[in-house]
Structure 1
């Protein structure tokens, strides 16, 4: 019996429990930040968190269960600034690092954040 060395980033960080923990921590930090909390007024956070878990799972090579809108459609009405986008990205990277995620995975997440910026920033 052999163990595969081709684990996805999703598997390497601990799968769904780790992604869920990261998303829970991310929204806790975002909602505590007065610069960001307003974006989430009146939002169903349980639903949004579920979408974020599915999206982050897909990004990390896990299950592709994301059924939400595309990034542009989900964010175009919010007027997200580059500074706020960067702040959320920094929070996500910090949370993942705090959970023990390795530099290779963090670099890949940074790459996705950079590549996705134009879809989210107004």
Structure 2
């Protein structure tokens, strides 16, 4: 682990165990929400969790790098509404906060969610 990783938001929230726990919690609640379940009916949740773990790790300055499809391509044609996107974002922020993530982490995730919205909502 290099110095930048040691000082990263990723390290501050607890590294891989904390990111994995947050992603596991997210994908327990999101597919169980009737408003969102349809988006996840035919999805390989194990693979989705791997991608999300890598994406969140990268966002927070961890060692993992997201190597999945471009977010726009991955979500093309799913018809994700702004309300549903915001709901998933709220769940993500909630599980991170519940896991002890501080304001700096939550703000970084909020900024990323806002920046990624045009690639996902449609």
TM-score by length of 1: 0.93
Instruction: Find the aligned partners of 1:64 and 1:52 in 2 and give their Cα distance.
Output: 11
- Flag as ranges the 4+ runs of structure 1 deviating above 6 A: none
RMSD: 1.5
Q: Name the count of aligned residue pairs.
A: 119
Alignment of 1:32 with 2:32, yes or no, is: yes
Bigger Rg, which one? 1
Instruction: Find the aligned partners of 1:98 and 1:64 in 2 and give their Cα distance.
Output: 23
Instruction: Find the aligned partners of 1:106 and 1:43 in 2 and give their Cα distance.
Output: 27
Q: Give the match for residue 112 of structure 2.
A: 112
Instruction: Find the aligned partners of 2:24 and 2:114 in 1 and give their Cα distance.
Output: 22
Instruction: Find the aligned partners of 2:21 and 2:37 in 1 and give their Cα distance.
Output: 19
Query: How far does the alpha carbon of each residue in 1:2-28 deviate from its partner, in whole angstroms, 9 at most, with x for none?
Result: x98x71011110111100000000010
Q: Give the match for residue 14 of structure 2.
A: 14
Q: Which segments of 5 or more consecutive residues in structure 2 lack a partner in the other structure?
A: none
Q: Which segments of 5 or more consecutive residues in structure 1 lack a partner in the other structure?
A: none
